[in-house]
Chain A
Amino acid sequence: MTTVSHLLPKDAGAAVPRAGTLPLRSGLGLKPEHFRTILDTLPDLGFFEIHAENYMVDGGPFHHYLTLIRGHYPLSIHGVGLSIGGEGPLDEAHLDRLAALIARYEPQSFSEHLAWSSHGDVFLNDLLPAPYDAATLQRVCDHVDRVQERLRRRMLLENPATYVEFAASTMAEADFIGAVVQRTGCGLLLDVNNAHVSCTNHGRDARAFIAALPLAATAQIHLAGFAQDVDAAGDPLLIDSHGAPIAQAVWDLYRYTLQRTGPLPTLIERDSDIPPFPVLLAEAQQAEALLLAAAEPRTEYA
């Protein structure tokens, strides 16, 4: 008996989430202070996301609770320590730890950042910027290739929030990301808050930036809150703090994005000043209402 289904493009019928992808729903970052609440109440959420490095420990409560929660929800593993934009080679031992974590929890998505976070033997614990030039592009593509080869899966690359630009840059950020996606086949994790923060910080139009991204490769969206400062000229300088509710400007940009991408798995990130769980759940429900609206048939062309 023959079947032609394997001849179909991988994305055929992509409106229905395949097993192995995140559902077209909203999700929350998993915080240890919410482990018990989640298991006791099993909130109606599409997925949870963890920071990979937090779970690279041998045992104890983190693995205990994640195992239980994974039994009820799809999972996204989001790395913050690979240093894909780093000058040096990738840390193979860290890749091994990632591979082990992925084998253990079988997440529906793995993502990392367009940034660097370590130099030499020092880990700086922040997502640091690199110039958008040919040398960085080559390095990032080599690193993404290596990650996808080692993990034997497609990864998503997240657009960064940045506070400085480089005289050495020769490409716009959206074009740089488009080139990485095109050359490596990786997907895009579109952080809408980062888009708003970076475009505000660099005097650019966030909608034009998003429209210039490789939106067809977008597989997940991040939403978060920012803090506000000013630069030396008194212009706004927004800081990606993950410590506040999502701002109205970011909700608006999210709606704009969904109009172009259709519904996508959407994560609410909150990593400091963490409120009670119901507050985060309400933000996730707000996102889900918007992404469900984006799934409805368009009427404007009727």
Chain B
Amino acid sequence: MSPQGSFAAALLDPERPCPAGLTAWNGSDPAPRFRVYRNNVIVSLIDALADTFAVTQELVGEEFFRAMARLYACAQPPQSRLLAFYGASFPDFIEGFPPAAGVPYLADVARLEQLRVVAYHAADVAPIGSDEIGAALADEGALPGLVFRLHPSLSVLGSAFAVVSLWAAHQGLRELSTVAPATAETALILRHGLAVEVIQVSAAAGVFIAALRVGESLGAAAEMAAAEDAGFDLAGTLGLLLQKEAVTALHSPRRSS
């Protein structure tokens, strides 16, 4: 192993000894000095995770969270120099982390928080104008084939747990004691202007928006949503997307565009 390879390996594995070849001016054991680097690396990674996963930390307490984050950081250190997105696989790690099994909704709350960070930093794309919307809606025959492009900040998270309510309770938006965690909820996450919003939508609306997002036509997405729930509110869901300025392009494949 190269010198920096040994140094790096020892940083991430507290069981490894201090790398060879280090010295101190006063002849003292360099190991405590090396531990400053080990501590800097791991604490900075834990802090980065704590920034992104603030509610996750509140749900289990700082001590538990930091111990869990430390194990994750040693096992899966960042592979990108852009630390804002570090921890994309942390929710999966939490899901498979036996000590967290008593908090079954923890991984989904972490997923929600990770999607909020992605939304915060996503590209700026202008919404389509009302005249374009009007023209598209006026051409009824073309409506089912209409394909939407949604804002890059947008994502949908369906959960068997009350992720939106749990998250909202930790923002002071509702009383935590009124939340039944085992209630399935679907979150729509997007950035509207500069603010990231977390909006609870029906499961069918979640299916619909997720289908539009991957390029399904309006007709196909509406059918998938109706299969989830025959009472799916198409007009209301489209209205929500337009109100949040989340539609950035409309495209009708039957015409040249």
Contact = CB atoms under 8 A, between A and B. Distances in A.
Interface in B1-40: 2-5, 7-8, 11-12, 21-34, 36-37, 40
Interface stretch (B76-84, B169-177, B237-245): B76-84
Interface stretch (A21-29, A52-60, A149-157, A259-267): A52-60
B122 A60 contact: yes
A81 B81 contact: yes
A92 interface: no
B35 to A, nearest CB: 9
A294 interface: no
B89 interface: no
A63 B26 CA distance: 48
A18 interface: no
Given A54-B84, A232-B28, A60 B120 contact: yes
Interface in A58-93: 58-64, 81, 86-87, 91
Contacts of B44: 125-126
A60 B194 contact: yes
B196 to A, nearest CB: 8
Nearest to A233: B28
A130 B34 CA distance: 13
B77 A165 contact: no
Given A64-B194, A122-B78, A233 B83 contact: no
B121 A57 contact: yes
Nearest to A240: B40
A175 interface: no
Nearest to B73: A125
B83 A125 contact: yes
Interface string A236-267: 01010000000000000000000000000000
Contact of A165 (B3, B8, B25, B40): B25
B227 interface: no
B123 interface: yes
A163 interface: yes
Interface residues of A, number: 48
Interface residues of B, number: 49
B48 interface: yes
A168 interface: yes
Contacts of B48: 125
Contacts of A61: 120, 194
A201 B153 CA distance: 46
A202 interface: yes
B33 A60 contact: no
B194 to A, nearest CB: 5
B41 interface: yes
A256 to B, nearest CB: 22
Nearest to B22: A164
Interface stretch (A112-120, A184-192, A275-283): A112-120
Contact of B8 (A81, A122, A163, A201): A122
A11 interface: no
Nearest to B125: A59
A118 B31 CA distance: 21
B45 interface: yes
A42 interface: no
Q: Kindly list the 10 A-B residue pairs having the minimum CB-CB distance in the complex, ordered from nearest.
A: A81-B81, A57-B121, A233-B28, A59-B124, A58-B123, A203-B25, A119-B8, A232-B28, A232-B29, A59-B123
Interface of B: 2-5, 7-8, 11-12, 21-34, 36-37, 40-41, 44-45, 47-48, 77-84, 119-125, 152-153, 191, 194
8 contacts: A58-B122, A59-B152, A60-B153, A81-B81, A124-B11, A165-B23, A166-B22, A232-B24
Interface of A: 53-54, 56-64, 81, 86-87, 91, 94, 116-126, 128, 130-131, 163-168, 201-204, 229, 231-233, 235, 237, 239, 272
